[in-house]
Amino acid sequence: MPLLKGAVTYSRFRAEHHKEPTKDPRRSLANALRKGAFEPLDQSGEQDRSAGWVELEDHQATDLAPSRFLYGSYLLATWRVDSVRVPAALVRSEIDAWSRAFEEKIGHPPKRADKSAQKEIILKKLRRRAFVSTQTFDVSWNLDTNAVQLWASSKKIVEEIQVAIEEAFDVTLHSTSPGARVDASDVDVDKIRATPELFGDDVALQVR
Amino acid sequence: MAKSDETKFLRGELGVDGEAIEEEVDAGEVERGKALDALAHNRAYLGREMLTWMLWRTASGDTIAVVDDAPVSALLVGDVVLRGLAGEATELAVKGHTSAYAEIVRIAIDRGLLVHRARLRIQHGEQVFEVTLDAENLAFRAANLPALLQEEEDDRLLERLWLTERLGQLVDALWDAFMKVRTAPKWARTEVPAIKAWLLE
C-alpha cells in the first residue's frame, strides 16, 4: 500500500464536478466505485486482463462501503489490475510440437487456418495453467479540495485510472502539467512562447 | 502494369518506370522532429524553462517563494537530465550528487539543452522534502517526505497524505513564482540575460 509506506510516486489532478453534489454523497460515491468494482478474471474465458476498484486495506474486498473508503475528508481506494500472460515462446513451442505430430500423422504440414485454430486451443489451455499477476495502484482524493493523486508511475495506468474516475464520478480530472496549468489560467499564450535565447531562434520558432 | 503495381504507383511507391522509389529517411531529421514534438507536448518547454530557471535561482540559495509565512528554498540534488536540440545531441544525462551545478551542465544549457528532469530538495521552514520532477508532466517521482510524527496507523496515513499535499503546494508555489517572472517584461529584460551571463561564468 504505497499510500502508507514506500515510494511516493504519483500524478496530480484537480477534479472538476459536472453536477452539483447529491443529497447523499457517501452513497453516490459508493455507487460510483461499485459500478467499476474489480471482477476476478475467468481464466477459462477469453479475457486476459481485468481491472477495477477494491478497498485500500483489503485488495480482495469489493464491498466498497463508505466506511471502507472514506478516511476523514479523503476518498481512498485501490485500482487493481489482474492479467494473465502466456509466454509467446511457450505457445510457439507447443504449436511447433503439434505441427510436427500433424505432419507425421497426415503426411503434410498443417494449413495456416488449422494452425491458427490450434493456437487458440493452446492459448486457452495454457491460460488456465498460467499464474495471474496482480498489480495495485492507490488513489487518494481530497473531497474538500478536490486534489486527486494517482499513485502510479506508468503513463498508461495513470490514463486508465483517470478515465475510470471521470466516467464513474462524472468529473473531469485536470492534470498539473505545464500545458494544463496554462490552459486553466488567463495567461496570454503569446507571452509564453519558447524563449529563443534559451532554445535557439530556430527551435523557439518551431515550438507552438 | 499488374494491379498491385498500379496500386503501388498510385501510392507513390513505384515510379513510371515500374521501379521502386527509394525515399531516403534522414534519421537526424526524424530525431529532430521527435525532439520538437516532445518540447511542445504539454508545453514541456515551459517545464524545462522552469527547471532551468530553478537551477539558476537555487545556485544563489535565495528564497524562491513563501507558503504559509514560511520561506521556500530549493536545491537540485542527484542526477539531472537535459534535453533539447544542440547540434547532433538531443539528451545529456549527468550523474553525481550536485551534478546539476557542474560546468558541463551550464555549457549544455548554453547550447540549447535545458533541464528536463531533476531532483529537487525543497526546504519549507523546518521541513525538508525531496522529489524528482519531469518537465512534461511535473508528476512526482520517488518523493521523500519529512518523518511522520503520528503513531496510530490511521493518523500516520492522514499525516502522510497531508505531507504529499503540502509537497504539491510547495511545487505549485515554485511554479507560480516562475510564471510570475516568466509572464512579466522582466523575463526578457533582466532574467534571461542574467541566466545567460551565469552560464558563461
Residue B2 clears pLDDT 60, i.e. is over it:
no
Looking at every residue in chain B, the average pLDDT score rounds to 88
Residue B153, chain A, CB below 8 Å: the answer is yes
pLDDT of residue A101: 92
Number of cross-chain residue pairs from A and B with Cβ atoms under 8 Å apart: 126
pLDDT of residue B18: 66
**Which residue in the block uniquely carries the three cell numbers 539531472?**
B80
Spatial separation of the C-alpha atoms in residues A117 and A128, rounded to whole Å:
17
Eight-class DSSP state of B87: T
Contacts of B52 in chain A (CB under 8 A): 198
pLDDT of residue A159: 95
Spatial separation of the C-alpha atoms in residues B158 and A168, rounded to whole Å:
25
The average pLDDT across B103-110 equals 94
pLDDT of residue B32: 80
pLDDT of residue B40: 83
The average pLDDT across B116-145 equals 94
Question: Which B residues, 73 through 132, put their C-beta within 8 Å of a C-beta on chain A?
Answer: 84-85, 109, 112, 114, 131
The average pLDDT across B81-109 equals 90
Contacts of A194 in chain B (CB under 8 A): 39, 45, 49
pLDDT of residue B3: 54
**Which residue in the block uniquely carries the three cell numbers 529563443?**
A196
Nine-digit cell string for B43? 508545453
Contacts of A156 in chain B (CB under 8 A): none
Residue B74 clears pLDDT 60, i.e. is over it:
yes
Sequence-ordered alpha helix ranges (H) in chain B: 3-10, 27-40, 44-59, 103-110, 153-182, 186, 192-199
Residue B105 clears pLDDT 70, i.e. is over it:
yes
Residue B46, chain A, CB below 8 Å: the answer is yes
pLDDT of residue A208: 67
pLDDT of residue B35: 81
Residue A101: strand pairing partners = none
Contacts of A72 in chain B (CB under 8 A): 158
Contacts of A198 in chain B (CB under 8 A): 49, 52, 109, 112, 114, 192, 195
The DSSP code sequence of B43-70 is GHHHHHHHHHHHHHHHHTT---EEETTE
Which residue of chain A has the CA closest to B166?
A: A147
* A116 alpha-carbon distance from chain centroid: 30
Contact A10 B164 (CB under 8 A): yes
Contact A71 B179 (CB under 8 A): no
pLDDT of residue A42: 84
In single-letter form, the type of residue at position B200 comes to L
pLDDT of residue B38: 82
Question: Confidence class of residue B84 from pLDDT cuts 50, 70 and 90?
Answer: confident
Nine-digit cell string for B146? 519529512
- Shortest distance between the Cα of B112 and any Cα of chain A, in A, equals 5
Among the listed ranges B68-77, B89-98, B109-118, B150-159, which one has the minimum average pLDDT value? Answer: B150-159
Nine-digit cell string for B18? 515500374
Contact A187 B192 (CB under 8 A): no
pLDDT tens digits for range B173-195: 999 999 999 999 999 999 999 99
pLDDT of residue B22: 60
Q: What is the ipTM of this complex?
A: 0.81
pLDDT of residue B90: 85
Q: Are the beta carbons of B158 and A2 closer than 8 angstroms? A: no
Which residue of chain A has the CA closest to B139?
A: A11
Burial A68-96 (b: 16+ CB within 10 A, else e): bbbbeebbbbbbbbbebebeeeeeeebbe
| List of chain A residues with pLDDT < 70 | 1, 208
Nine-digit cell string for A17? 464536478
Residue from A181, A182, A206 whose CB has the most chain B CBs within 10 Å, to mutate: A181
Contact A3 B160 (CB under 8 A): yes
**Which residue in the block uniquely carries the three cell numbers 490450434?**
A118
pLDDT tens digits for range A153-171: 899 999 999 999 999 999 9
pLDDT tens digits for range B138-172: 999 999 999 887 778 778 888 999 999 999 999 99
Spatial separation of the C-alpha atoms in residues A199 and A177, rounded to whole Å:
20
Q: Which of B118, B105, B120, B115 is nearest to B199 (CA)?
A: B105
